[in-house]
Structure 1
Amino acid sequence: MNDITLDMEAVRDTAAEHMLTGIPRAHVDTPVDQVIDTLRGSVFECADTVFVTDAAGKLLGLVRINDLFADGRLKIGDIMKSEHESVRLDADQEQIAALAMRLKMIAVPVVDRNERLIGAVPPEALFRILREEHMEDLQVIAGITAHDDGPGAALDASILNRLSRRLPWLIFGLVASSVITVVMVQFEHALSANVAVAFFVPALVYIAGAIGSQAVSVSVRSLAADSVQILPLLRDELIIGVGIGAALGVLASFGVLAVFGDQLLATAVGLAVLSGGTMSAVVGFGLPWVFQKLGSDPAMGSGPICTIIQDVASLFIYFGLVSLLVL
């Protein structure tokens, strides 16, 4: 089958959808002055880069237009950047954008299975891809299922369509939140013994959720990059979580001590913030990675699921500390 013969469904969100074929090409042994003369008067769909090929049409290197004017006596093969990467027609658009950023490419060449140049993904398409992927990640992290025509179409969809895409994960969250009720019931004695214990539950849940949301966002964007090393990033996120938790924990404990004058309760709140913040950072960062390992979209439902895990764990930690230190 010819590489270019692809149905519309197959090319969606791939290099084939964004590729342009009207691009400057030059044989590797052609003098630079001759290349310039050949380009003069021609109209191209994307003219930011000259793509250098051999006699068989195989891609050998790239030359940016501004580099053509360095020395006209040289052959274009002498000034081309031979260290480059290309993509196939079926390459995912997110990988294409990540490649362009990593190698600082203006346009990404597209080749067939024999490494012959077919076309290129232009810079305006790269910007469009980045915006679409960013919008899609934001929606999916929030638990909004993908629209068939892309994230941009979701804004113009009917109210019923938008409702149906947002509701499923929220129903899951409602059902899963019953676990929080179970936790509260299990520690009813703590609430009865000291009503002040209940005052800090909303703050603890909020802090855990906020830290986890930040970690989820960092994780999803990291997984979208090429050759990302997850373990070093997870280590860094753990350190960041400890730092944030410690800072907020100290502030919270001093606040509780100043208002209530209860040193043990202040200690319990401070330690709960520290532990909950650390746990939320690790869970928020690690959950999308687990989804990816299982073959799912790393952003899919990460926000709602992460929120439930963080809330339940934070309350368990808090009430456990209160039972141990205060009661």
Structure 2
Amino acid sequence: MTEERYDDLAGLRERAKAEVSKVVVGQDRTVELLLVAALAHGHVLLEGPPGSAKTLLGRAVAHMFGAQFKRIQFTPDTTPAELIGSNVIKAGEQVFLPGAVFTNVLLADEINRTPPRTQAALFEPMQERQVTVDGKVHKLPDPFLVIATQNPYEHSGVFELPESQLDRFLFKINLDYADPEYEFAMLNLPHNGIAPDMLGEVRPLLGVVGLDKARQELMDTEVSDAIGRYIVALGRRTRDMPGVELGVSSRAMIHLMSAAKANARLNGRRVVTIEDVREMAPYVLRHRMILSEGASADEVLKRAMDAVPAAVPTSVA
């Protein structure tokens, strides 16, 4: 495992895109967002059609991080024990067998194809970075990042994630098929883009220690009161927008600030701007609202941002 310190987070962003593009082309923006999530201690939900490279992208990013990686393919038969682990009797003694969550990066493939009971088993790991089995707490490795995928076009045998679990994801990223030029470039990737040893071409950049030190850089990032008030005003505005039955939570505002800080640092700045907030808002907030039938989350957020001035009054209504 590579453990290299990166104080130059803007440089890290460019290196990360270059490494991942060796196996997945046309997804630079998604790579940037996954970096933001990792720095902000957040989890990511990737949604896109089959063949949009969700799984390969998750594997490539994990390899780029230089961290331990596991993948679990969710099915209707996946059990909570496969995720969090279980106690077994071995040689007359009770032994804990760790589940898939005992890793640094967990790729939770097709998370909406497993029943609610198994989905709920991810609550504690995602929120607390630990699991409790038979009353005993087991801490997860640090860092711990979940990259979950789901196919929005599947309807049979699908269990939609409840709002309480969606709220645990820092980002929801909508993937689509690549542009024609990128799809043409895929034809020239080594091994036609499908061989399992492709990931060996991705150079690990960070490692666990490097990621931890990169995260520490965020502690020195300046967020003014004006930025904080803008975040609160924007979040509160979603609660009374037409087409919204339930707006974003206070947790969403905290997550938005964390993402804005990471975005600022990855762009070479130590000060968060309004643009950092507006840039991150769709990814942080789109999955945290309950909408009326026919309403569009992205359209609601656009109207909310248009309605909240960049210069927020000293008291937020």
Higher fraction of strand: 2
Higher fraction of helix: 1
Q: Between the two structures, name the one with larger relative contact order (CA 8 Å, sep ≥ 6).
A: 2
TM-score (normalised: structure 1): 0.24
